[in-house]
Amino acid sequence: MKSQTRFVFNAVHILVWIVFIGLCIRTGTLIFALILNLLFDIGEIQEFLEDVTAESGKLYEYRRAHHYAMFSLIILYSAVHAYIAYLAVRIFRKLRLEQPFSEGVTVLISQISYVALGTGILALAAEGYTEWISRQGVEISKNWNGGSFLLLAGIIFILAEVFRRGTELQNENELTV
């Protein structure tokens, strides 16, 4: 195995870990802020939530239920991002460059494609909800990237199928005497 490939592999592995930890911290902060916001009416937390959700602040004044629904969607979206990063971390832990095709890695890649598809559908639903709220006169500048996630899900699904076939071929090769 080329040392350059090994270096890039290790670098990306570390990067994926950093992204995963970052997303976990972000999701945890959001959940904590939401709980605090539900329990206490603190101005600073309200401002923080408005910064994160890219709300103009009118949504909270317009209707609290929509504010919390929108915020819950953002938390769910962030949590799913973290879960995808977690699956990516698991892939890097399982992947052996000498023999990359394995049943475990194939299952994980398939899982990422399904989760990405779910995230895409969630993002599209959230986009629709955001547009609906905007039509009510409350401007929210939040980009959910629903289409990008659907495209990502499609590409990863194809990759998973290639891996599945690769695993079959590798097993066949190993059982050829």
Partner 1 sequence: MAIIVNLDVMMARRKMSLNELSERVGLSLPNLSILKTGKAKAIRFSTLEAICHALDCQPGDILEYRNLLKDGS
List contacts with partner 1 (CB under 8 A): 171-172, 175-177
Token pair for residue 156?
């990863």
Q: How far is the CB of 168 from partner 1 (least distance, A)?
A: 10
Nearer to partner 1, 41 or 174 (CB): 174
Contact present, 120 and 152 (Cβ < 8 Å) = yes
Nearer to partner 1, 143 or 171 (CB): 171
Q: How far is the CB of 167 from partner 1 (least distance, A)?
A: 13
Buried b (16+ CB within 10 A) or exposed e, 139-174: ebebebebeebbebbeebbeebeebbeebeeeeeee
Nearer to partner 1, 28 or 166 (CB): 166
Q: How far is the CB of 130 from partner 1 (least distance, A)?
A: 53
Nearer to partner 1, 5 or 171 (CB): 171
Report CA dihedral (102, 103, 107, 109) to the nearest 10 degrees. Answer: 10
Report the alpha-carbon distance of residue 84 to residue 91 in Å, rounded.
11
Residue 55 DSSP one-character state = B
Q: How far is the CB of 174 from partner 1 (least distance, A)?
A: 8
Residue of 146, 15, 36, 32 lying closest to 80 (CA atoms): 146
First to last CA, the chain: 25
Q: How far is the CB of 170 from partner 1 (least distance, A)?
A: 11
